[in-house]
Amino acid sequence: MTGEDRVIDPAELSPEDRELDFALRPRSLGDFVGQERVKEQLALLIDGARARREPIDHLLFSGPPGLGKTTLAQIVAHEMGAGFRPTSGPALERPSDLAAILTNLEDGDILFVDEIHRMPRAVEEVLYPALEDFSLDVVLGKGPTARSIRLELPRFTIAAATTRPGRITLALRERFGFSPRLDYYSRQELGSIVARSAGILGVGIDEEGAAEIAKRSRGTPRVANRLLRRVRDFAEVRHDGRVSGEVARRGLELFEVDEEGLDRLDHAILVAILEKFGGGPVGLSTLAAAVGEETDTVEDVVEPYLLQLGFLRRTPRGRVATERAWRHLGLTPPGTLPL
């Protein structure tokens, strides 16, 4: 099973899911559920910038996938009445790619750069004067006749997002005025998100059904909305269309999402550690090869939640399964008596 096939994979969305994902996104800070401290801080920055009639300071959102980094950047643009221009770090392959985007911005625009940690170093260095002085250094010609000119840029804001803040250089990070980190959501917050999304989708759902989906959503709103859509399909095809607690449980069991929110790939990784490697330690590349997956998918998509649940530990020698992981799969840890 690859990452692209996962029911709860937060990284890949089909065109249909992308359209629905956009429809479910809140448009204002008031509609955004969770991340209360970050919302309060952003509201303060927005009010201050509007009062001074200047662009908001550069923003760097960090945190696991699916927690609302892109949504918050869009909300900031909406609250500021500014244009929203999205791009991504991997798309900016050459300095000229960044220069083309920057020179087409207008005053107050928000340039959103997703996965900024994947931006090439040569492009990053061009970004420094743009962030600090709203200017762009352009080299004309080659060799001895080459000369540099400085172009003045409109006063804009860069709102960047990253799932790997440790890979961002200190020089780049320090040029952002505000760098909030988004945390996983509580089950109560996810239940509110599921209920709100169900209303937008026209899905009848009771409190127990919303709570059941929230419990299995890995602390992530994007996963909660995706599971809601799959449960909606189950409810419409095999029941009367209304999502109760029992319908949600049976639907999620059909899609192989267990009570902790683990799917087939999560189980495959845990089983590999426990049964093939005796509970660990096992290296990341070896573990990824054992389940036929990319190391980045294991490290960025699967591991964070398993670590949060206390099923895994990272050690200098590799990944080690905890006693909780053995118990969750109904196995007995080596050296202990079965209960």
d(CA 148, CA 242): 65
Residue 163 among the catalytic residues: yes
| Neighbour tally for 160: CB within 10 Å | 28
Catalytic residue, candidates 70, 157, 297, 322: 70
Residue 114 among the catalytic residues: yes
d(CA 59, CA 158): 6
Catalytic residue, candidates 71, 162, 163, 297: 163
d(CA 27, CA 146): 47
Report how far apart, in Å, the C-alpha atoms of 170 and of each of 166, 175, 227 are. 9, 9, 38
In which element (H, E) is residue 62 found? strand 59-62
Catalytic residue, candidates 6, 69, 85, 216: 69
Residue 222 among the catalytic residues: yes
In which element (H, E) is residue 76 found? helix 69-80
Structure tokens belonging to residue 139: 């080299």
| Neighbour tally for 215: CB within 10 Å | 18
State the DSSP code for 58.
Answer: P
Residue 69 among the catalytic residues: yes
Catalytic residue, candidates 222, 226, 232, 319: 222
Q: What angle do CA 278, 281, 284 make, to 5 degrees?
A: 115
Residues classed as catalytic: 69-70, 114, 163, 222
